[in-house]
Structure 1
Amino acid sequence: MDTNSFRPQMAAALDPRTRALTEEREVLGPAYRLFYRKPVHLVTGRGSHLWDADGVEYLDVYNNVASVGHCHPRVVEALSKQAASLNTHTRYLHENVLRYAEDILSTMPDELDRVMFQCTGSEANDLAVRVAQAYTGGEGVIVTAEAYHGNSDLTSKLSPALGTAQTLGLTMRMIPTPDTYRVAIDGRPAAACSPEEFGAWMAGEVRRAVADMERHGIRFAALLADSIFSSDGVYPDPVGYLKPVIDAVHELGGVWIADEVQPGFTRTGDSFWGFGRQGIVPDLVTSGKPMANGLPTSMMAARHEVLEPFASSIPYFNTFGGNPVCMAAAQAVLDVMRDEDTMGNAKRVGAIFRQAVSGLMDAHPCIGDVRGAGLYIGCEIVKPGTKEPDQATALDILETLRSHRILTSVCGRYGNILKLRPPLVFSESDVDWFMDGFSATLKELGL
């Protein structure tokens, strides 16, 4: 997560105004990070486009927070209208939270029939882990090798993507990333295996992790994972491979917490929720950033029987989780997603986008793999002729794309995978802009 970052030693190359702003950020402390060697000073946005302080227009190919596009007028109107009336918490009655709760649950399988609201994805995952532990009586949580699930004390210890300086939980166990590009099963590349075979491999990793927990006196509680393994490097396929994994989780006495912050809300184009692509029903679902187009809103949905042991014994209160303004914005987002068919757009434009990027592979052997679902694409940058990750080249590509006014970033263990995750209103003309800039970038860098 610290790969595409500005460092203070880069300040000498900046223009005076940008340099002054970076220096003023010292008041925020050293933990914050800026993107790019030359940070971008953004002041306004609309749809999938952004403008900087000089009026220069950029293409946003990274922002899933503004899920229905920056400053969508219906969302702005809904939150403004409610803010002018009342904003308080859920210990008073209000229709907004009830209307939205019913509506968001209507997008999920019937088994998921309870929902609680928070302000951040970290809070949602924190609560979900506590609920899972209360239900199972265990403590142990399994995550993948490059997972990110939040920055609370609990969730940061379940987030290896934060880096080696982050202390990980003693009751946490990691399993390998379901890397269909590099994993070999019985000597065969994963891409040549059936969903059942790939799922059996991953289920075996879960069993090994739980066996290790048991050797250390730890009882298994949950697998916490998003259904396309976003931070690990974007691995959505093969469809169906997660079923044997979740079957193993249940057999071993645990539950699956589906972290849907990134794959949910029509992102994959195949279903409203990322887990829907895999044809399975989680025990708990969390989401956050896309819900209210940037307002601090998150949720945890649950099967009632899973929630009951926690909820019947511990009162839960989150001051502004589910507040009327955020619920009004979230409802507007949900209405826009239906009325503007963001799922259909993600499927149609995402397929065009992925095919266009894949079409560059033969001419540019630095592109080792292109994978994704809907408007979530991972483009793996490698040393030509190998599968060796090439982080340095990936970062040079990012910086050159920035010079073409295209904003994105990287993910994965080695920081070599271009993470192409634009707002859901991304259009065919936006694909054209990206491809023109990406092709020019590869040419300029001699790739």
Structure 2
Amino acid sequence: MDSLTQFFAYFSPFGGTFTKSSTKSKKEEQFKQQNFRRGEGGQNGAVPPGRGGEMAVDKAKLVAKRATMLSSKCQTFYADDPLLVARASMQFVFDENGRRFLDCISNVQHVGHCHPRVVEAVHSQLSLSTCNIRFLSPILTDLAESLLQTFPSQLDTVLFCNSGSEANDLALQLARDWTGAKDVIVLENAYHGHLTTAMQMSPYKFDRGSNIKQPKWVHVGPAPDLYRGKYRHADEDFGDKSELSRKYVEDIRRILERAKAKGRRVAAFIAEALQSCGGQVLPPRGYFRQVAETGFGRVGDTFWAHQLDGEDGEFVPDIVTMGKSMGNGYPIAAVVTCKEIADKHCGAVSYFNTYGGNPASCAAALSVLRVIREENLLGHCQNMGELFRKELNGLKERHKSVGDVRGAGMFWGVDLVKSRCTREPNSELAHKLILKLKREDGVLLSIDGPYGNILKFKPPLCFGVTDLREAINALDKALGELSNDDV
């Protein structure tokens, strides 16, 4: 559940659109004149003037203090050498010594760390009110209206909450209330959150020795992974793999048939349109008729990832959930559905979430939507996606340890292997690479996938051409030094 959206469906017609609308304030126009970009690529955020980020703190003592007071389960990136973030700006973070790091992984800070417009929006709202949604608040309805403009007209109702985990739990409730059924179908290696029900629907959790076990009401289908999945392509091209897609779809149909034969009814199918924790998996076009955790323009061609699965109007999900990137680091999430489904929820009981849709969070989310539109981040993401594809495939041509490159827009995975013939995962190389890049080059990458061998690129949308070349050059050099595998 790494990027943004997920989708619940009880198997109905589908489609999707993106509508632009914006109102520019005087303050927003003033921001346009400020020099927060480096220029090349159109969206690179330069470091704004101010202090360098130096902080009088003993990092070793901080690590020890954290270990004393927090659970060992609260892990950090780079566990062997954790990064202390003293401050952050756009696509950069700075440690306690003022050293700059290029952030290729913070998709939560969707339009950039501490984006001035988001900061200003939250600050302004905090000085006005922080009342909950049982009072009238213009910012709440403004956000709902702006958000719904990105969806087809059938999806006309929003329920706000605080996290993607909450959103998925609420979506499951909606699906069950509407259908009267209990069971769900999920995909292998999927992650849908940390609440009990979300973990029960997450093979990424219950397949890894968790105390949470797969319940009888959860059915797991194969992930449509054309490189490592049950049905694989023989060549290197991610083109139209309609036959492989058909095989994966048939597996889901067989799951439905087996469930029905046992007297079980399926309420929902939940899936990530671009699977993240499962290894940055890009399904064959036409497989998914559901929305995933990578929306808000991250995939470039469309606003929501489910729109990659067909032409406009062809695919309208029943329920969409979103979180993480929605507030640019400020907690907010939402469930979008139709009024009929939403109004049937919990019968006569009302829906209330103490902090869901609070004014400050709404201000952050509304600002994010406006930044995406008015700074043309959707178009920028599409252009960057083509450059990502070119540069990462260039690495693949030069290094045998790169078995596969897959993704879209600003969401990419590099599959590291010991052998291209066997496709054996090379998790050891992946771990060495991210540490080397951090220490020597100041480039932040992460790893994921069921084997821990996938390098993940999911930077803020302000990430630009110069940034990508800096990251690729560092990775190119590190691959040559660590793997000695030049083609």
TM-score (norm 1): 0.89
Query: Is 2:389 aligned against 1:354?
Result: yes
Alignment pair present for 1:35 and 2:70: no
CA apart distance, 1:187: 8.7
Match runs of 1:295-374 below 5 Å? 295-310=330-345, 312-374=347-409
Shift in Å at residue 17 of structure 1? 3.4
AA aligned to 2:473 is D
> What's the secondary structure of 2:395's corresponding residue?
coil
Kept after mapping to 2: 8 A contact 1:234/1:371:
yes
Listed one character per residue, the Cα deviations across residues 248-290 of structure 1 (whole Å, up to 9, x for unaligned) are xxxxxxxx5x343xx1000000101111111321110000111
Say what the alpha-carbon RMSD is for the aligned residues.
2.0
The answer as to 2:326 corresponding to 1:291 is: yes
Q: Which has the higher contact order (CA 8 A, sep 6+)?
A: 2
> What are the superposed Cα offsets for residues 276-327 of structure 1, whole Å, 9 maximum, x if unpaired?
1113211100001111111110000002233232164332110010111111
Is the Cα contact below 8 Å between 2:224 and 2:284 reproduced in 1? no
Q: How does 1:250-261 map to 2 (within 5 A)?
A: 258-260=291-293
Number of the residue aligned with 2:470 = 433
Cα deviation 1:98-146 (Å, max 9, x = unaligned): 1110110000111111111000110000000110111111111111111
1:354 deviation in Å? Answer: 2.4
Q: Distance in 2 between matches of 1:308 and 1:110?
A: 17
Distance 1:187 1:412, change over 3 A: closer
Please state if 1:217 is matched with 2:263: yes
Q: Secondary structure at the match of 1:445?
A: helix
Conserved 8 A contact 2:225-2:282: no
Counterpart check, 1:271 vs 2:302: yes
Displacement after TM superposition at 1:350 (Å) = 2.2
**Amino acid across the alignment from 1:204:** E
**2:6 matched residue in structure 1:** none
Q: Trace 1:190-209 onto structure 2 (pairs within 5 A).
A: 194-209=240-255
Deviations 1:5-45 (A, max 9, x none): xxxxxxxxxxx933322221121112111111211111111
> Secondary structure of 1:146's partner?
coil
SS for the counterpart of 1:142 is strand
Cα distance, 1:238 vs. partner?
3.0
Contact 1:171–1:213 under 8 Å retained in 2: no
**TM-aligned CA distance change 1:213 to 1:133, over 3 Å:** same
Aligned length: 418
**1:23 aligned to 2:58?**
no
Partner of 2:423: 387
Q: 2:460 aligns with which of 420, 423, 428?
A: 423
Deviations 1:202-225 (CA, angstroms, capped at 9, x unpaired):
211212222333344321011111
**Match of 2:447?**
410
1:107 match: secondary structure: coil
Cα offset, 1:87, TM superposition = 0.3
* Contact 2:401 2:483 survives alignment (8 Å): no
The answer as to whether partners of 1:183 and 1:190 remain within 8 angstroms in 2 is no
Q: Against the structure 1 CA distance between its residues 76 and 192, is the aligned structure 2 distance closer, same or farther, given a 3 Å change threshold? A: closer
How much identity, in percent, do the aligned residues show?
36
Q: 1:188 to 1:428 in 2, by over 3 A?
A: closer
Q: Secondary structure at the match of 2:384?
A: helix
For residue 209 of structure 2, what is the amino acid of its counterpart?
Answer: T
Q: Deviations over 1:171-209 (max 9, x none)?
A: 111111111113465996695884432332121121222
Q: Secondary structure, in 3 states, of the residue corresponding to 2:242?
A: helix
- For structure 1, the residue ranges without an aligned partner over 5 or more in a row are 2-15, 247-255
How far did 1:168 drift? 2.6
Aligned residue type for 1:276: Q
Match of 2:350, as an amino acid? P
The answer to whether the Cα contact below 8 Å between 1:183 and 1:189 also exists between their aligned partners in 2 is: no
Contact 1:50–1:60 under 8 Å retained in 2: yes
